[in-house]
Structure 1
Amino acid sequence: MLLTLDLHDPRPLHEQVAEAIRRAVAEGSYAPGDRLPPARDMAAALGVNANTVLRALRELRDEGVLEFRRGRGVSILSRPDPRSVIEEKLRALLAEAVQYGYRHDDVIELIRELS
């Protein structure tokens, strides 16, 4: 699993980790039943605290994307709803646009121009 975080992203790191895992599952890098690497390994690869990764994993468990099994680790339970993946990306886009001084209407107009 190749996950990356954007240190300039204003969102908390655990949200970025959860989004990266959600995206990997939605894109098919992981299928239901596949096991994730241990949280410590993911944390080391991302350069964050293991508790940050664990918080993201718990969030995904609560969404029904992951399943925790004692002695077996964390595995993919289901693919996330595609709409929720798109909504997460749009929230990130809108937050970044606001940082550059764009209003939501400006972003909508840009999307219309590109489609």
Structure 2
Amino acid sequence: MLIVVDPSSTQPLADQVASSVRAAVARGAASPGDRLPSARAVAAALGINLHTVLRGYQQLRDEGLVELRRGRAATITALAGEARRARLREAAEEFVKAARHLGASGEESLTAVRDALTAGRHETSP
């Protein structure tokens, strides 16, 4: 799994580490049971402090997305998939509320989602 940070971003590096893992789970690049790279390896590869990576991993642990055990690799939990689906459902519900508030029809709403998904494919492609 590729963990990426942007040192010029205003977002703290630990948050970026956690966001990278969440994004990998969301796009299916990481699945429950997969092991994350060691914090030491990530820190060395990215040129950031080991404790920064550990803070990112601890955020994921606190969210229930990663299991951390001292001396063992961090592992993505089964909850990661469930949490992803729950967040997606919440986002969809918020979208539906906004669409209804704007008076959009079901077809207009679906078209907006399709357009956003299509645009998103182009933005995230390597």
Are positions 1:81 and 2:65 aligned together? no
Within-5 A mapping of 1:7-86: 7-77=7-77, 78-79=79-80, 80-81=83-84, 83=87
Cα distance, 1:76 vs structure 2: 0.2
State the Cα deviation string for residues 8-44 of structure 1 (Å, max 9, x = none): 2101111111101111122111110111111000111
Instruction: Say which SS state the counterpart of residue 67 (structure 2) adopts.
Output: strand
Distance 1:51 1:71, change over 3 A: closer
- Per-residue CA deviation, residues 30-70 of structure 1 (Å, 9 max, x unaligned), is 11011111100011111100100000000100000000134
**In structure 2, distance between residues paired with 1:12 and 1:72:** 25
The number of residues matched between the two structures is: 89
Q: Which runs of 5+ in 1 are unaligned?
A: 88-111
Q: Distance in 1 between matches of 2:3 and 2:35?
A: 15
TM superposition score normalised by structure 2: 0.61
Which structure 2 residue ranges, 5 or more long, are not aligned?
A: 92-111, 117-126
In 2, the alpha carbon distance for the partners of 1:25 and 1:16 equals 14
Percent of residue pairs bearing the same amino acid type: 49
State the TM-score, normalized to the length of structure 1: 0.66
Structure 1 counterpart SS, 2:74:
strand
Q: 1:71 & 1:20 partners in 2: Cα distance?
A: 22
- How far apart are 1:3 and its partner, in Å? 2.0
1:50 and 1:71 map into 2 onto residues whose CA distance is: 14
Report which of the two structures shows the higher radius of gyration computed on alpha carbons.
2
Amino acid at match of 1:64: G
